[in-house]
Amino acid sequence: MAINNGTIIKINGSPVTTLNAGQSYLFQDRIGSLVETSGPAVMNTSAAYDQPTTGGGCYDGTSNPVPPISSLGTEYIVVRGNGNNISEKTTVVASEDNTVVTVTQFTSSGALNGTITYTLAAAGDFVTFDNGVPGAGGVNTPEGQIYSASRIQSTKRVVAYSGTAENCEVDVATLAPISDCTGSTKIQAYKFRKYSPADDLPYFSYIIIRNATAKVYLTTNAGYSNVDIESLSGVGVRRQLGSSGVYLIDFSNTNIGNPAVITLESTSRLTVNMVQQGGGFSMSNFLSPLPEKALKPTFVQGDCASAVLSADPTSLPPFQWYLNGSAISGATGNSYTATTSGTYSVTSRLDCGNSAQSLNIEVNLCNVDRSITKVADNNSPAIGSTVNFTLTAKNLGPGNAINVIATDALPAGFTYVSHVASAGTTYNNTNGQWIIGSLAENGNSTATLVIKTTAKTAGPYQNTATITGPQGDIVTSNDVSSVTPSVIPQFFLASAAGTDAQTVCLNTAITPIIYNIGGSTSGAVANLPAGLTGVYSSGSPART
């Protein structure tokens, strides 16, 4: 779902649509597909039904947010619930080529159980493996060690999705990465309930903390106020996962008195997941945020060629500025002068360490000159003949053009057949929208679109193409281009069938042979045998 108007959506490098603020786009594609947007957007993944069984008969739905690449990490922890071997799995997707993923399994007591290494050769490649220590079965019953865990480490940033299950009920959760600036020192949640009847549902929760001694305090609406959660009967003992420096504390709703409202606080950052399993339902989600971002920067545009970007006054160095998600070499001050249009963000120092990239700001400099030209390869086509319309888009200005879109809806006299668009651009023949995206400055890049059509009805038809974008245009007179082909009738026999194949006898009149011929030029009948005379009528026009 788009936040701003004119947001271009790309899937695996190809533009597919544009969205205005509040509009959404639903699609299906393979796991690992790269989705890019020209502006801020929200993305979710879901399944209308799920089938986690080997024998069929079980279906469920799932839904969860998809985090941006800038919020991903290189370390994750997942704890096994009371689910089955089919759905209690985690899928890790690489965001970069040649990513090595190491999965270390720990028993429910935190002891090392085994290590597996996977190599993901390309961005978008993925691997799926068991959560924690699995069981031996393959049915929809609890299998494996509940509260066993997997530690996921990667050489480059990855995203991790964890599955949970209660018999046939399944869910998916996006794992929050483990890092210095992940998690919160205060977390609040509400109990799980089903809709009808409105009964409470059972759940368990696990706390991830990177501190061996920092207390975790529990406050509820059922009698606990700043109580050390580890002092409660039944709460799992804090244990380290091997020698990782990562500690787990687990508890269930019954361990803490079945409260409606839960608050957890600590001096050390907490990453908390709550997993609802039982009562015919399965739900899960992380209650902790993704890595903390730097505060959103601001910018002032003094002229058409540049804008001055400034980090929030309260932000602390070191700074790093980014353009379209990539670090800008040498841009490490609290301000940056942008001479290229695009989306910018910044990182800064927080009390926990270096931040994740801030929310983006979009800089649209007004030093572009979008241009479009349109030509037809036949301006006097006959009905039924082919006409190719060629559009050429350029940016003649000194600055780069972004989010460029052209529109060319065919007039009523032509039928769409096919098209060929430049690589990285997409044409939709239904609405006539040609998504171009970026055009380099000074005419250094050209986008072309050839639309193949068939002329279907006679008459003149104006065909107009326009080019637009979010930036101010230096020259607007070349933003529109038109051609007006005149479709003419076909050449056809207007007299009775067979009149064009008569035997001519001396002194015997023949049936007139009449042809209607499209066009408005003059004509004559030539090359007739001696004794035969042709007549041209310009009013029809016809040849007899």
pLDDT tens-digit series, residues 407-464 = 999 999 999 999 999 999 999 999 999 999 999 999 999 999 999 999 999 899 999 9
The three state secondary structure string of 19-44 is ECCCCCCCCCCCCCCCEEECCCECCE
**Per-residue pLDDT, 250:** 94
**Per-residue pLDDT, 392:** 98
CATH 2.60.40.1510 fits 370-487, yes or no: yes
Summary mean pLDDT of the chain: 90
Average pLDDT score over residue span 125-137 = 91
Distance (Å, rounded) from C-alpha 433 to C-alpha 427? 6
Q: What SS3 state is found at 345?
A: strand
The encoded tokens of residue 8 equal 């271009």
With bands split at pLDDT 50, 70 and 90, how would you rate the model's confidence at 217?
Answer: very high
Instruction: Tell whether the model's pLDDT for residue 540 goes beyond 60.
Output: no
Strand-pairing partners, residue 264, are 187, 218
- Preceding amide of 541 cis, omega within 30: yes
pLDDT tens-digit series, residues 355-373 = 999 999 999 999 999 999 9
* Proportion of the chain above pLDDT 70, given as a percent: 93
**Per-residue pLDDT, 198:** 79
| pLDDT, greater one: 443 or 489 | 443
DSSP letter, residue 473? B
Distance (Å, rounded) from C-alpha 171 to C-alpha 84? 12
Distance (Å, rounded) from C-alpha 123 to C-alpha 72? 14
Average pLDDT score over residue span 221-241 = 95
171, 88 contact by CB (below 8 A): no
With bands split at pLDDT 50, 70 and 90, how would you rate the model's confidence at 186?
Answer: very high
CA dihedral 480, 486, 487, 491 (to 10 degrees): -150
**CA atoms within 13 Å, Cβ hemisphere of 310:** 8
Distance (Å, rounded) from C-alpha 101 to C-alpha 127? 9
242, 106 contact by CB (below 8 A): yes
pLDDT tens-digit series, residues 9-23 = 999 999 999 999 999
**Per-residue pLDDT, 124:** 97
With bands split at pLDDT 50, 70 and 90, how would you rate the model's confidence at 518?
Answer: low
Instruction: Tell whether the model's pLDDT for residue 106 goes beyond 90.
Output: yes
**Per-residue pLDDT, 445:** 93
Asked, colleague to colleague, whether 44-286 and 370-487 share their fold, the answer is no
Pairing of strands 459-460, 463-468: unpaired
CATH class of 295-363: mainly beta
Average pLDDT score over residue span 384-390 = 95
Distance (Å, rounded) from C-alpha 204 to C-alpha 209? 17
**Per-residue pLDDT, 285:** 77
The encoded tokens of residue 219 equal 């406050």
With bands split at pLDDT 50, 70 and 90, how would you rate the model's confidence at 258?
Answer: very high
* Proportion of the chain above pLDDT 90, given as a percent: 71
CATH class of 44-286: mainly beta
Number of residues that make up the chain: 544
With bands split at pLDDT 50, 70 and 90, how would you rate the model's confidence at 504?
Answer: confident
pLDDT tens-digit series, residues 318-338 = 999 999 999 999 999 999 999
* Position 220, amino acid: T
**Per-residue pLDDT, 128:** 97
pLDDT tens-digit series, residues 465-475 = 999 999 999 99
Instruction: Tell whether the model's pLDDT for residue 216 goes beyond 80.
Output: yes
Instruction: Tell whether the model's pLDDT for residue 542 goes beyond 50.
Output: no
Distance (Å, rounded) from C-alpha 50 to C-alpha 44? 16
Instruction: Tell whether the model's pLDDT for residue 172 goes beyond 80.
Output: yes
Distance (Å, rounded) from C-alpha 10 to C-alpha 502? 64
Residue 468: name the closest of 455, 480, 484 by CA.
480
Residue 505: name the closest of 529, 523, 477 by CA.
529
Question: Residue ranges per domain, the chain?
Answer: 1-43, 44-286, 295-363, 370-487, 490-543
**Per-residue pLDDT, 55:** 54
